[in-house]
Structure 1
Amino acid sequence: MLYSVPLPGTASASETPAHRFPTARAGLTACAPPDITTVYGAFQYRLARDPERLTMGRRPVLQAGDAATPTKPRLGAYEWLTYREINEITRELGAGLAKMVRQGKEPGRVVIYAPTSREWTLCMLACYAQGLQVVTAYDTLGADGVLHAMNETGAQIVFAHASQLPLLLRVAPRMASVHSVVYYADACGASPEARDAASRLARTHAVATVDDARRVGRAWPRDAHVAHGSDVALVMYTSGSTGAPRGAVVAHGGLLAVCGAIEQLVPAAVDRDADRVLSYLPLAHVLAFFVETYCLYAGLAIGYGTPRTLADTGEASGLGDLRALRPAVMLGVPLVWAGLRSAILRQVAQRPRVVQWVFHAAVEAKAWLAARGLPAGLLDRVVFRKTRAATGGRLKFAITGGAQISGALHKFVSAAVCPLLQGYGLTEASGLVAVQLPGDATRGNVGAPMPCVEIKLIDAPGSNYFARDGCGEICLRGPTVFRGYLGEENCLEGDGWLRTGDVGRWVEGGRLAVVDRLRNLVKLANGEFVALEALEAAYAAAARVALVCVVADARMRRPCAIVSLDQDCPADPVDPDRVLALLLDAARAAGLPPQHMLAAVCIDPEPWTPENGMLTAASKLRRAAISQRNESRLMNVFKEMERRGERLCDKD
């Protein structure tokens, strides 16, 4: 099967031909059928056809978690809204928000500073019902991050979860344009600290609950004021792995072009009437946002969860979100799949040795069968029945994105849980750029270009990648490509191409493989280039390892690494040499060359999370922060490498 076709006459000495999905050879997809070009228009399209269709389910809290012992809350069964009910809520809330926007200050922007939830999406739709623009801010952002988003965009309103109110109170004197705060609480209500913060914040700003804002909307009703496809939908801040985040200006039309492209690729793989999609990744990230937009358009039921409540609690009636929702589709980043693999392997390790052997042999057997398009139903029913049941038992496929995933982890999840499809996306391209199609069991690639973009690879001579070898920097063009960053409108080449900074390679069938990022390519002392993200994906497949931060520079003959272990594995008694041996086993299994084998490691005893600043909100490594926190450990590693001749001595 061909996954992309080159366009004749588009190649040059320094560029590969532009590739498109085969059905897009004559023209790129520019909207969702029939001619839907806005996010609210996508919602209205489904509302007009299925007003009583259920979606946007959430679970009531039956018993709150205990902050002292950090037990998980006990949640009830999913409760749903119809499209008709959503329309009523968003029209009222939208009118209320519009009433709060001061006239003459354009554009009207609302910062959503909240975790993924039903309320997040209701606020988004309410904004779009009145032509307001949404500014996204990860709920894990600290004071400086959310202030940057508010002040740079000139937003007038912040929509927040009650737990964010104490932080907003602290930064209130520095909020240059925000004059109103609208907040909501979960079924447990606002905490005493949140209520106190709301009261004190009300001395200087207009503060309202969602119910208050809806009452304003009922008192001052407004007709819908829907934007055009060319109008701005989002100012979406990148997660900021290096330096301050930048606000990507994304148009409605770009998001709906992605939806139209998905509509061409997946309908045969989903049942709109029965299948459910789990939403738990940050909606402030483009991956979750465009999937939610497509689900609203297509009528796929969205059920909300949280990373904390995905798995069962182990208590009576303590089903996790996965088993309570029983989704057909799930999104995740490699960190999620690595955690799932670790949990499965811990269970397998408690079984008799012969059962362990059968399990691992079955993983290999199923991968072999899948690569040849052969059925593996017997293995699913006998060997993987429990692992599939733990995720609800109905997963048809899952999609991984956000970072590279190792072949070993990809193979494991595809065998033990469900087919795992790798995708590649960018905020700057309104979401999805390329994805593996259902039924594609290959690994090490991100599949076909979406029908809404064309892709070419250009020379990156400083990193030794050349188009003549079918490799180079990935460049995109099409209706999904953004209009620029806030305050930086000229980000595209003269003919409309976006240079992504990612390195790609064309592989069998016209699939795209993402090799690394240009800024993460490092030349070693022997002249060999090291792709940091690719190495980290390979090494993260090692047993007992959660994340790996590879460290390399021009003084090293081989790289070293800082390692974060599985949280269920205590760090103090672990021998770094033993961890290094496990990592090297993973490297050999991945076929890494000798010069890419780690020379040494150090172990960070604390987990890496967005909350402690070691990861971005999108679960990407913050290399500088990790290296700084482990500076003394790295210095000891460097000294040992210099003693063995693996690293040149530092110059004075």
Structure 2
Amino acid sequence: MVVEDKQVQVKVDGKMESTLKRWTFSKLSEYKWMTYNEVVDYTTNLGAGFRKLGIEPKGRIVIYVPTSREWQLCAFGAFSQSMQPVTAYDTLGESGVLHAMNEAAADAIFVKADQMPILARIMDDIKTVKHVFYFQDAYGMPDGCAEALEKVRARFPVHTLDEVHDLGRANPVARQLPAGDDIALVMYTSGSTGSPKGVLISHQGIISVAGGIHLFIAPYLDYGTDVLLSYLPLSHVLAFFVDVYCIYSGIRVGYGSPRTLTDESVRECRGDIRELRPMVMLGVPQVWSTIRAGMLKQVNRSSWLVRKLFYGAVELKNALRNHSLPHQFMDNIVFKKTQDATGGRLKFVITGGAPINRDVQKLMNAALCPMIQGYGMTEASGLLAVQLPHDATFNNVGAPCPSVEMKLVDVPEANYYAGDGKGEVWVRGPSVFRGYLGNDELTRETVTEDGWLKTGDIGQWTAQGQLAIIDRRKNLVKLASGEYVALEALEATYKNSLYIHNICVVADGRMVQPCAIVNIDPQQIDQLADKAGVAYRNPSEIAASPEFVRAVLADLHAVARHNGLTKLETLAAIRVDAELWAPENGKLTPAMKLKRPEIAAHNHTQLMEMYAQMGISD
């Protein structure tokens, strides 16, 4: 680790003052690789070690670590003996990981040393776990974790992952490989509307998705040569199935972290992207929206001529791609700097988890590389539809994956009918999950007797046979006029504002127009406040400033006009939440989706103010 003291400017009582702030940066080594044969040997020994410790086939191991090589080694070690990993986001708090352990009746838990204090605090409430496994990175045991380790060791046998591997190597057993119908893992959803649900995914489901995507994507990859940068949570189905596909097909996987992706977040080394120089990279819409905002802020600080050339080049390159005309010549002229920042080898990037905004995808296509949008869900083992890298269209998620059959079903209350090419997306096939852990009633509500999975998403077929996701069924809200608005679609549009870090649109049957709680990155408050001529002393004060709120709303209205939103989709009022939403403070899921009830509860007073402003009595 590298520690630096920096002078930073902060606003105090309306004036900018200089203060000293200590920053800690990571110092990383070069990537170190394992061959496929080495992985097979390691995971076989690891599985044997699990067996020696008394974990039987179909036993469960909770994986509560960040995305890393160790995450996958533990999972494949469990697979080698027909054991079932139980996924738990490493950002889950005490109650979340305790819920996963106890509901799944886990035999063991695998943690990173950093999380040992969490385990120490909840260990008296753990019901079935008999062993604790852990690993630590090159920096060693973090402060306070050694003491927590000793507390945990007083209650459970504790082993490093390498110790379990060595135990298995000394006590080899034959691999006990699972059948296709066997449960591969219990994957917990991110819990955007309540407690996470344990989804039972079969080995057949995982491999059917890998085989399905292979039929689509094989012509665009060089197997044995291409590299994927994996940094999204492996406890999320998007990152997991992409990793598994790479392992299935022979693509190298290098692991990174959101905290060390760029050069700005490390010292005396390169960030993960420039060090690995990947050909493929994943991201959720929030990540790409942040990257887009950063790019455009740099461009908008340039001269009028530079801005004109850049925006014109984005439109021209997309038009050339759309007509299958040569466009690569523009990369060295206009976009070389942005492409070099990602290593200069990206073939395409994948976005999933929620709909991506057209303007974000358009910019990524031009300034970086083709962005393909995928659509999937945990209950379908990951993938349902995906665009192909040569697809230059927008606002769709491509054609259905060969691992499923798909249909649209009428939603009459919202005036969506399959005969018109609109409705709820239902899918069927080998990748459909085997049910929710311990909740047969919810399983029966979600999967029909003849095997159709009700996704809850509203879809529409395009003229080319692609699927466009309009919104979530539960997020379609009828206004006082009787017309529906799609909350997620509106949020994706309003995120085009360069000042908006995140937004939660609110609507119900009493309203003629929606309102919203807006989240603004504190680093951008200065720029917008100066533009609006509003003085302030701290972020909380300006969030409540009527002049500032009007300036933000005016910017959002400009976004609405630019994107052709109707009057009923235009925000009637907003309030600003000065606290950045994040998984750590419970406002976002680990997959970066809004936790609407928590955001509403946190902003109850502001919501009441907006209701009063709109003439609504609560």
Instruction: Report the Cα offset of residue 315 of structure 1.
Output: 6.7
> In 2, distance between residues paired with 1:531 and 1:587?
14
Work out whether residues 543 and 582 of structure 1, in 8 Å CA contact, stay in contact via their aligned partners in 2: no
Instruction: Report the Cα offset of residue 120 of structure 1.
Output: 0.3
Instruction: Report the Cα offset of residue 66 of structure 1.
Output: 7.5
Tell me the SS of whatever aligns to 2:70.
helix
Instruction: Report the Cα offset of residue 65 of structure 1.
Output: 6.1
Work out whether residues 476 and 499 of structure 1, in 8 Å CA contact, stay in contact via their aligned partners in 2: yes
Determine if the alignment matches structure 1 residue 120 to structure 2 residue 80.
no
Question: Which residue number corresponds to residue 96 of structure 1?
Answer: 49
Question: Which residue number corresponds to residue 458 of structure 2?
Answer: 503
> In 1, distance between residues paired with 2:324 and 2:508?
43
Instruction: Report the Cα offset of residue 578 of structure 1.
Output: 1.3
> In 2, distance between residues paired with 1:233 and 1:477?
19
> In 1, distance between residues paired with 2:429 and 2:95?
34
Determine if the alignment matches structure 1 residue 649 to structure 2 residue 602.
no
> In 1, distance between residues paired with 2:353 and 2:551?
30
Gaps of 5+ in 2: 6-20, 526-538
Work out whether residues 101 and 157 of structure 1, in 8 Å CA contact, stay in contact via their aligned partners in 2: no
> In 2, distance between residues paired with 1:296 and 1:65?
37
Question: Which residue number corresponds to residue 608 of structure 2?
Answer: 635
Question: Which residue number corresponds to residue 456 of structure 1?
Answer: 407
User: Superposed, which structure 2 residues align to 1:105-116 within 5 Å?
Assistant: 107-116=58-67
Question: Which residue number corresponds to residue 427 of structure 2?
Answer: 476
Determine if the alignment matches structure 1 residue 286 to structure 2 residue 241.
no
Give the 3 Å change call, closer, same or farther, for CA 65–333 of structure 1 in structure 2.
farther
Instruction: Report the Cα offset of residue 215 of structure 1.
Output: 2.4
Instruction: Report the Cα offset of residue 101 of structure 1.
Output: 3.1
Moved more, 626-635 or 152-161: 626-635
Work out whether residues 64 and 188 of structure 1, in 8 Å CA contact, stay in contact via their aligned partners in 2: no
Work out whether residues 408 and 590 of structure 1, in 8 Å CA contact, stay in contact via their aligned partners in 2: no
Give the 3 Å change call, closer, same or farther, for CA 66–240 of structure 1 in structure 2.
farther
Question: Which residue number corresponds to residue 381 of structure 2?
Answer: 430
User: Superposed, which structure 2 residues align to 1:237-316 within 5 Å?
Assistant: 237-313=188-264
Highest RCO, 1 vs 2 (Cα 8 Å, sep ≥ 6): 1
Work out whether residues 101 and 156 of structure 1, in 8 Å CA contact, stay in contact via their aligned partners in 2: no
Determine if the alignment matches structure 1 residue 594 to structure 2 residue 567.
yes
Moved more, 164-173 or 370-379: 370-379
> In 2, distance between residues paired with 1:66 and 1:146?
34
Question: Which residue number corresponds to residue 493 of structure 1?
Answer: 448
How big is each residue's C-alpha offset from its partner over 1:334-386, in whole Å with a ceiling of 9 and x where there is no partner? 01101111221232233323112211121122222222222212221111110
Work out whether residues 449 and 455 of structure 1, in 8 Å CA contact, stay in contact via their aligned partners in 2: yes
Work out whether residues 457 and 467 of structure 1, in 8 Å CA contact, stay in contact via their aligned partners in 2: yes
Aligned counterpart in structure 2 of residue 80 of structure 1, from 33, 52, 56: 33
> In 1, distance between residues paired with 2:572 and 2:259?
36
Determine if the alignment matches structure 1 residue 224 to structure 2 residue 197.
no
Instruction: Report the Cα offset of residue 313 of structure 1.
Output: 2.2
Instruction: Report the Cα offset of residue 317 of structure 1.
Output: 3.8
> In 2, distance between residues paired with 1:66 and 1:260?
48
Moved more, 417-426 or 208-217: 208-217
Work out whether residues 136 and 235 of structure 1, in 8 Å CA contact, stay in contact via their aligned partners in 2: yes
Question: Which residue number corresponds to residue 331 of structure 1?
Answer: 282
Aligned AA (1:470)? G
> In 2, distance between residues paired with 1:215 and 1:65?
36
Aligned counterpart in structure 2 of residue 625 of structure 1, from 595, 598, 608: 598
> In 1, distance between residues paired with 2:359 and 2:289?
10
Work out whether residues 559 and 596 of structure 1, in 8 Å CA contact, stay in contact via their aligned partners in 2: yes
Tell me the SS of whatever aligns to 1:366.
helix
Give the 3 Å change call, closer, same or farther, for CA 288–436 of structure 1 in structure 2.
same
Aligned AA (1:99)? K
Question: Which residue number corresponds to residue 10 of structure 2?
Answer: none
Question: Which residue number corresponds to residue 560 of structure 1?
Answer: 515
Aligned counterpart in structure 1 of residue 315 of structure 2, from 361, 364, 371: 364
> In 1, distance between residues paired with 2:609 and 2:424?
36
> In 1, distance between residues paired with 2:466 and 2:314?
25
Aligned AA (1:463)? A
Determine if the alignment matches structure 1 residue 546 to structure 2 residue 501.
yes
> In 2, distance between residues paired with 1:410 and 1:146?
35
Give the 3 Å change call, closer, same or farther, for CA 316–66 of structure 1 in structure 2.
closer
Tell me the SS of whatever aligns to 1:508.
coil
> In 2, distance between residues paired with 1:101 and 1:194?
27
Work out whether residues 522 and 578 of structure 2, in 8 Å CA contact, stay in contact via their aligned partners in 1: no
Aligned AA (2:450)? D
How big is each residue's C-alpha offset from its partner over 1:475-525, in whole Å with a ceiling of 9 and x where there is no partner? 000111111111234432121111111110111211001111111111111
Question: Which residue number corresponds to residue 296 of structure 2?
Answer: 345
Instruction: Report the Cα offset of residue 579 of structure 1.
Output: 1.1
Work out whether residues 559 and 597 of structure 1, in 8 Å CA contact, stay in contact via their aligned partners in 2: yes
Aligned AA (1:353)? W
Tell me the SS of whatever aligns to 1:608.
coil
User: Superposed, which structure 2 residues align to 1:525-544 within 5 Å?
Assistant: 525-544=480-499
Question: Which residue number corresponds to residue 350 of structure 2?
Answer: 399
How big is each residue's C-alpha offset from its partner over 1:253-275, in whole Å with a ceiling of 9 and x where there is no partner? 11100111111111110111321
Instruction: Report the Cα offset of residue 102 of structure 1.
Output: 4.8
Give the 3 Å change call, closer, same or farther, for CA 525–207 of structure 1 in structure 2.
same
> In 2, distance between residues paired with 1:222 and 1:315?
43
Determine if the alignment matches structure 1 residue 516 to structure 2 residue 471.
yes
Give the 3 Å change call, closer, same or farther, for CA 69–101 of structure 1 in structure 2.
farther
Instruction: Report the Cα offset of residue 137 of structure 1.
Output: 0.2
How big is each residue's C-alpha offset from its partner over 1:289-332, in whole Å with a ceiling of 9 and x where there is no partner? 11111101111010101111111127764321111111111111
Tell me the SS of whatever aligns to 1:431.
coil
Gaps of 5+ in 1: 1-62, 643-647
Question: Which residue number corresponds to residue 30 of structure 1?
Answer: none
TM-score by length of 2: 0.91
Moved more, 93-102 or 565-574: 565-574
Aligned AA (2:151)? R
Aligned AA (1:471)? K
Moved more, 459-468 or 422-431: 459-468
Work out whether residues 311 and 320 of structure 1, in 8 Å CA contact, stay in contact via their aligned partners in 2: yes
Work out whether residues 520 and 580 of structure 2, in 8 Å CA contact, stay in contact via their aligned partners in 1: yes
Determine if the alignment matches structure 1 residue 581 to structure 2 residue 559.
no
Determine if the alignment matches structure 1 residue 150 to structure 2 residue 101.
yes
Question: Which residue number corresponds to residue 411 of structure 1?
Answer: 362
Instruction: Report the Cα offset of residue 616 of structure 1.
Output: 0.1
Question: Which residue number corresponds to residue 124 of structure 2?
Answer: 173
Aligned Cα root-mean-square deviation (Å): 1.6
> In 2, distance between residues paired with 1:200 and 1:314?
33
> In 1, distance between residues paired with 2:555 and 2:269?
35
Work out whether residues 333 and 403 of structure 1, in 8 Å CA contact, stay in contact via their aligned partners in 2: yes
Moved more, 277-286 or 481-490: 481-490
Determine if the alignment matches structure 1 residue 190 to structure 2 residue 158.
no
Question: Which residue number corresponds to residue 184 of structure 2?
Answer: 233
> In 2, distance between residues paired with 1:537 and 1:530?
13
> In 2, distance between residues paired with 1:599 and 1:457?
33
Aligned AA (2:514)? P
Work out whether residues 277 and 300 of structure 1, in 8 Å CA contact, stay in contact via their aligned partners in 2: yes
How big is each residue's C-alpha offset from its partner over 1:168-209, in whole Å with a ceiling of 9 and x where there is no partner? 111101110011100000000112411111111111111111
